[in-house]
Structure 1
Amino acid sequence: MYFIKELDNGINVVIEKLDNINSISLGIIVENGSINENDNNNGISHFIEHMLFRGTDNKTAKEISQIIDKIGGNLNAFTSKENTCFYAQVLREHLDIVIELFSDMFLNSLFNEEDIEKEKMIIEEEINMYLDDPEDLVHELLNEMIYFNTSLSLSILGNIDSIKRFNKKDLNNYFNKYYNPKKIIISIAGNLNINETYKKLNQYFGKFNIQNKSEDIKFDTDDIIHGNKIKGIKKDIEQFNLCIGLLGISSSSDDLYSYLILNNILANNESSRLYQSIREAGLAYSLYSSITTYKDIGDMSIYIGLNNNKIENTLSLIDKELNILKNNYIKHEELETCKEQLKINYILENESSLSKMFENAKSISLFKKIETEDQVLKKIDKINKKDMISIINKVFKRETFKIAYISNLEDKAGIEEHIKNKIFRGE
C-alpha cells in the first residue's frame, strides 16, 4: 500500500506499508548535490552532509550516534551529483526516535566553526584516499572530460583548495538556499501506521525552511562536447587503468531498460561479451561496464585494469566486440536471457525495506508517482530487438567516445595514438 502526500510546507512524503516485516527504513532525500556547485564552492553539498552529524542545539555528535546505537539501528548518509540522502533502518517501535532525530539535525544543526575546521581535515583525508585509488581516479578523470565545462564535471568531494575556504556563513547560506521543502522527499517503507506517521512527520518537519526556493539546473546533450578526447595521468602504479566513456541517456528516458540490458550484454556480468572475450583470454582481472543516469542526461563507461604488456591485445578485442555489437546487434536468445537477468536483479534488489524506500523516492523524484514492480517488469518484457538496435545506435558512436587512463608508462604519445587507432577510429 502506497501513500503520497505533501506536508504543510510542501515536503513530498511517500510511505509504503509492508506488513510482513518488523523493520522500517526512513530516508530524507534532498535534491541537491555537486550539480548545484561551482569551482569556488565545490564540495559544499558533501561537506554539509557531514556537518549535520556534527551536533545540534540539543545533541552532541556523540549523542547523535549513541541514540541510534542504543536502539540497534543503522544511521548513514551520502551525497551524489544530484542528491543528498540521510537514512536510517530501525525496528518499527523506534520510528518516532528517528523522526525526531532527523528533524533536530535539519532544524537545529550548529555548523560550529571548531567542528567545521575538524571536518575540513577529515574530508581532506577522504580526498587524498580517493586520489590514491587509480580505479576511482580514472573514473573521475573520464567524468571531467564527458561533462567538461558543466557542474556535472565537478567532484562530489570537492578539492582541498575549495574545502579550505568554507566557513559557517557559506554553509548556512547554501543550506538555506538548497534545503528547501519543494526539493525534499521523505520516503518510508516498513510495518507502520500510515496516518500516525504522516502526522508525526508534519509535526516535526511541517515548518522546516518554509520560505526559501531554488531553481533547477538542466542539461541536455547539446551541453556536452561531442568530439573524441583522451587524457591520461602518469602515476607510479603496476597496472594500466583504462576507462572508455560513451554517451548515455537520462534516468527518465523511455530507453532506460533497453539501456540496462545493453550494459549487461557489454560487460556487466560474467556471461557478457567483453568479459568472455577479455577476461577468459587471461588479459585482465578487473573488467566491467557501468551506467550513470541523471535527470536530463547520462553516460556509460567501460573499465579495465590490466598489465602494460597486454594493452595491445585488449584494445584489439574491445574494437572487435564493439564492431560486432554495432554491425550484428544481438540475437533473440541473448536478449531474452538479459531480460530475465534484469528482472531477477530488479526483484532481488527491491526486497528489503531500505531498497523499497530508495526506489519509491526515485519514482517520486522522476515521475511524481510510484512505478510498481509489475509495471517495471512489464516494461522489461516488452523490450524487443528493434528497441535494442535503437539504443545501440544511440550509444555506440565512436566520434563521441572519451578515454581516460592512469599508468606508469613513459611513452604517452605512443600509447595514446594506439588507443585512438583502435577505439576512436576502429583501425
Structure 2
Amino acid sequence: MLTSANYKPPKIITLENGLRIISEEIPGALSCTLSIWINVGSIDEEVSNNGVSHFIEHIIFKGTKTRTALEIAEQSENVGANLNAFTDREHTCYHTRILSEHVLVALELFLDMLFNSRMQDNDFDLEKQVILEEIKMYEDTPEDLVQDLLYEVVWKGHPLGKPITGTIESITNLKKKSVFNFLSDLYTPDNMIISLAGKYDLAAIIQKTEKLTSNINNKNKKKDAPPLIITPDIFIKDKDIEQTHLSFATKGVSVYDEERYTLAVIDIAMGGGMSSRLFQEVREKRGLAYVISSYYHTNKLGGLFGVYAGTTAKESSHVIELILKELNAVKKDGLKPDELERAKMQLKTSLFLELESTMVRASRNALYDLYYKRFLTPDEINSSVQLITNERIIKLANVIFNSKYYTLTAVGPRNEMPKKFSLG
C-alpha cells in the first residue's frame, strides 16, 4: 500500500505569468495523464450567461487560429490521444491519457485551444444547437432532471444552483461577445493548473509551456461567490412516466470541514452498497425500489447529503418515510460497530485503489492545490478515516439531519403521488 514512507509529494512549478505546473512522476508508468484545470465553473456565472463555462468547454474543440477542428482531432489521434473535457460547478478540466513520448503533442494542442480559440459564427451557432439538444436530453432523463431540480431548489438564487449546461433560454440568448469576455476574464494563466501524473519529461513540459504562454500575462477577474444558504422546499415535476424519481437532500459539509470523511462514512453506511441501511430496508426487505442510493456533494462554500430513489408514485411517500426513519436512527444511535468498521474500510479502500489511476492522481493533486494549497499524504488520509468514531457520527448527524434543511424534488406522474409529502 502507498504510505508516506514511499510517497513523494508532487512538485509545483510556478511560471512568471502565474500558471502552475503540478508534477507527479510515477516510477514504472508507461503513460501520462495530462490535465489542465481552470478555476472556473457555473459558480462564476450569472443568470444571463448561465451555461457559458460548459459552452466554452465545447466550443474550444471547434478550432483555433492555426488549426481546424479536424486538424485537432487528426493530430491528437495520430499519437493515440483522446482529448476530452468536463465542466462542473467550480472547475473546468481538459484532459487526456497518452503514451509518455507524445505528451508534448497533447500539451501543445490543449494550449493552442485554450489561448487561441477562433469561435467562428457558424461553429458558435452549431454548438448552441448541440447544447440545446443536450439540455433536452437531460430533461428527458428523469434521474438527471430530478437532481438538477434539487440543486436549483435547495440553492435557490445561488450560482451553484444553476444547471451546468445552462437553460434553453440562457443558451439561446448567449452572445459571442459575452463568451469572449468570460474567456478573457477567467481563462488566464494565473487561473490555471497543468497537472501531470505518470511518465514524462518534466523539463520539456516546462520549456514547451513557457514557450507557448510566456506572452500571455493577463490576470483573472474572478469574483467571490455569495454565501451559500439552503432554501428547504418540496418541488414536484409532473411527468408522464412509469416511475417516480425522488431526490432528497439536507445540509452537508464543505471541502474544508474536518468532518468531511465522517460524512463519507455516513454516506457509505446509509446508501453506499448492498449492505447499506437504505438498500436493505427499501429494496431488499420491501421491494419498493430497484435503485436507492445516498450521495454527498462538497464544495468550497458548503455541501449536501442526499438520497436518490426510483419507485412507484403511490409508494413515494412510504420511501421518504423510510429515509427519514433511518436518518433519525443515526441521529439517535449512530452506526453499529460492524457498520462503522465496514464503512471505514470501504472508504479507505476506494480512496487508495483510486491511486492506481493516473487520472485520479492528476485530478486529486490539482484539487488539493486549488482547495488547500497543499497535498494530503496517504498517511494523513488514512489517519483521518481511522479517527472517525461513533460519537463523531452522532454529533455530525445531529447537525445535518435537521428538518429545517430538508428538501425534496420528485419527477413523475403527479396525480398518482400523495397529495402532500411530509419531511418533518
**2:416 maps to 1:408:** no
Structure 2: state its 5+ residue gaps. Answer: 1-7
CA deviations over 1:250-269 (Å, ceiling 9, x no partner): 11211111111011011111
- Aligned with residue 243 of structure 1, among 225, 244, 247: 247
Q: Secondary structure at the match of 1:53?
A: helix
- 1:232 is matched with which residue? 236
1:211 shift after superposition: 2.1
- Aligned with residue 297 of structure 1, among 287, 296, 302: 302
Distance in 2 separating the partners of 1:353 and 1:319? 39
TM-score computed with the length of structure 2 as normaliser: 0.94
Residues 72, 297 of structure 1: CA spacing in aligned structure 2 closer, same or farther, 3 A cutoff? same
1:219 shift after superposition: 4.5
Residues 167, 308 of structure 1: CA spacing in aligned structure 2 closer, same or farther, 3 A cutoff? closer
- 2:147 is matched with which residue? 139
Distance in 1 separating the partners of 2:82 and 2:408? 39
Distance in 1 separating the partners of 2:234 and 2:191? 37
Over the aligned positions, Cα root-mean-square deviation in angstroms equals 1.5
Aligned residue identity for 1:205:
T
- Aligned with residue 93 of structure 1, among 87, 101, 119: 101
Distance in 1 separating the partners of 2:82 and 2:166? 27
1:407 shift after superposition: 1.2
Task: Report if the CA contact (8 A) 2:328-2:401 is conserved.
Answer: no
- 2:361 is matched with which residue? 356
- 2:203 is matched with which residue? 195
Pairing 1:11-410 to 2, within 5 Å after superposition: 11-208=19-216, 210-221=217-228, 223-225=229-231, 228-280=232-284, 281-410=286-415
Aligned residue identity for 2:164:
I
Aligned length: 415
Q: Secondary structure at the match of 2:33?
A: strand
Q: Relative to structure 2, which stretch is displaced further, 160-169 or 192-201? A: 192-201
Q: Relative to structure 2, which stretch is displaced further, 306-315 or 338-347? A: 306-315
Residues 205, 416 of structure 1: CA spacing in aligned structure 2 closer, same or farther, 3 A cutoff? farther
**2:13 maps to 1:8:** no
Q: Secondary structure at the match of 2:63?
A: coil
Q: Secondary structure at the match of 2:250?
A: strand
Distance in 1 separating the partners of 2:147 and 2:371? 26
Distance in 1 separating the partners of 2:218 and 2:227? 30
Distance in 1 separating the partners of 2:379 and 2:21? 22
1:273 shift after superposition: 0.6
Distance in 1 separating the partners of 2:173 and 2:386? 51
CA deviations over 1:379-425 (Å, ceiling 9, x no partner): 1112122221222112101221001001113166xx252x21xxx22
Q: Secondary structure at the match of 1:387?
A: helix
Distance in 1 separating the partners of 2:242 and 2:184? 46
Aligned residue identity for 2:214:
G
Aligned residue identity for 1:275:
F
Distance in 2 separating the partners of 1:217 and 1:311? 39
Distance in 2 separating the partners of 1:282 and 1:395? 28
TM-score computed with the length of structure 1 as normaliser: 0.94
Distance in 2 separating the partners of 1:291 and 1:88? 27
Q: Relative to structure 2, which stretch is displaced further, 369-378 or 172-181? A: 369-378
1:99 shift after superposition: 1.1
Q: Relative to structure 2, which stretch is displaced further, 69-78 or 211-220? A: 211-220
Q: Secondary structure at the match of 2:166?
A: coil
1:312 shift after superposition: 4.4
Structure 1: state its 5+ residue gaps. Answer: none
Distance in 2 separating the partners of 1:350 and 1:235? 42
Aligned residue identity for 1:140:
D
Q: Secondary structure at the match of 2:249?
A: strand
Task: Report if the CA contact (8 A) 1:15-1:188 is conserved.
Answer: yes
Aligned residue identity for 1:237:
I
